[in-house]
Structure 1
Amino acid sequence: MTIDIDVLPNLRDLGGLDTYSGRRTRTGVLYRSALPAPDDTRPTAVTEWPARTVIDLRSPREFATRAHPLQSEHTAVHLVSLLTDAEVTEPSSDLRLAEIYQGILTNAGGRLADVLQIAATAPGPLLLHCAAGKDRTGVAVALLLRVAAVEPDDIIADYVSTDEHMSAVLARITRFAPELGHTHPHDRDLRGVDPGAIEIVLSHWESHPGGVLGWVQSHGATDETIQLWIERFT
């Protein structure tokens, strides 16, 4: 298979998903992707580009390596780190993805609530990404979808679809961000996705008093923010 290195991989619009309330997620509101690169070809996977708001979920050291390619007078970039520099660089060969995701829920719950706040109030479309667009992005996207009442099976299916893009993601990291070879654990990405890991995340939220809404409220989200997001996205 030929990989077009100049096309942003793992980019998709999360509109068109059914919710258990009988509504459907809107297109043109929420995108997800891997790490954008300078001089990317204009993508055809979404209708409006570039996004007006970007949430970069990488760690401060990852973020500081170079200027964000989408930052402009028309696009605001927010750094909301879901893993610390130390957590990103520590060897991950003995860690299951489920343990990494659980660490995000335990240590970065407030920052996930910040993601929801930005998503609910900042100009759209909104793009979420990290380095590969798989793990940190997977957890953050799962939260936004679940708050909007998207069914767990559809959230898992979206998460799993990232596996189709991993060859392109790793090729681009090697070319456009070689420094990540020293700061980002490629073995974690080479393992691909783990549906069981995201299922554990969803179960964690559902087991919390009040479900996912109760969980995100316990980490600082307000009723107003939740309602704004639901009305915006569905």
Structure 2
Amino acid sequence: MTVTDIDVLPNLRDLGGLPASDGRRTRPGVLYRSALPAPGDARPTAVAEWPVRTVVDLRSPREFAARTHPLQSDSTAVHLIPLLTDTEVTAPSQGARLADIYQGILINAGEQLADVLQVAATAPGPVLLHCAAGKDRTGIAVALLLRIAGVEPGDIIADYVSTNEHMPAVLARITRFAPELGRAHPHDRDRRGAVPDAIEGVLAQWETYPGGIHAWARANGATNETIRRWIERFTE
């Protein structure tokens, strides 16, 4: 069987190798990000270890329930941690700034982001984070994990923006493998791609929070032990 571009999971990458604080770097083979996996995907070549041991699916309950997760197996656990409600996912977003949508996630889903941190710090790895496009909800959750580990904002923004290289493949895959998303998911939001000022606003909120990103995470339910375990696990 010939493998075509649409058979390959897009926007998949290992977030290891990024510079972190105190001269450390993020460790490969711990944290991946991607767009929505599909049944029958070819084995990816973009990462060294596959399949992953843990998946964090950031979609809403209705998106998640549309079909069995293709990576669910005896050796791969899938955790549903929605960062948007079903209503928020399907609400028309014409004219809405991505920056405002992102700020809404910080306000309304802070505890869920702390849950993402908990899974990333304690579940078997590699851990894969994804939503539908792997851009907005995934972008915020990845930014949280990177920043807690000491990755600088500029490197976080660069990783976020690199998603734009994959958006044509992402949109084609949604149309083919998840037509229900094509009808319900506001594609205008996806066609805008990854917008730097949206993630910059998220990072600014964490930077200006009294005590910084670690204090913000604790205020939303994370523990010092979870933060310590994540830094120890993800950096070297």
TM range (shorter): over 0.9
1:25-104 alignment runs, 5 A limit: 25-104=26-105
Q: CA separation in 1, counterparts of 2:184 and 2:176?
A: 15
**Residues 1:164 and 2:162 aligned together:** no
CA shift, 1:182, in A, is 1.9
Q: CA separation in 1, counterparts of 2:16 and 2:192?
A: 28
Runs of 4+ in 1 over 3 A off after TM superposition: none
Aligned to 2:215: 214
CA shift, 1:53, in A, is 0.1
Q: CA separation in 1, counterparts of 2:51 and 2:101?
A: 30
Q: CA separation in 1, counterparts of 2:193 and 2:209?
A: 28
Aligned to 1:9: 10
Counterpart secondary structure, 1:189:
helix
Counterpart secondary structure, 2:23:
coil
1:181-196 alignment runs, 5 A limit: 181-196=182-197
The percentage of counterpart residues that share the same residue type is 76
CA shift, 1:25, in A, is 0.2
Q: CA RMSD in A?
A: 0.6
Superposition TM-score, scaled by structure 1 size: 0.98
Q: State whether residues 28 and 124 of structure 1, in contact with CA within 8 Å, keep that contact through their aligned partners in structure 2.
A: yes
1:84-163 alignment runs, 5 A limit: 84-163=85-164
CA shift, 1:183, in A, is 1.8
Q: Any idea what the Cα deviations from partners look like across 1:198-227, whole Å, max 9, x if unmatched?
A: 011000001111100000000000000000
Counterpart secondary structure, 1:58:
coil
Q: CA separation in 2, counterparts of 1:20 and 1:68?
A: 36
Counterpart secondary structure, 1:32:
strand
Q: State whether residues 62 and 183 of structure 1, in contact with CA within 8 Å, keep that contact through their aligned partners in structure 2.
A: no
CA shift, 1:94, in A, is 1.6
Mind listing any 5+ residue stretches in structure 1 that lack a counterpart? none
Superposition TM-score, scaled by structure 2 size: 0.97
Supply the AA of the counterpart residue of 1:151.
E
**Residues 1:179 and 2:180 aligned together:** yes
**Residues 1:20 and 2:21 aligned together:** yes
CA shift, 1:20, in A, is 2.4
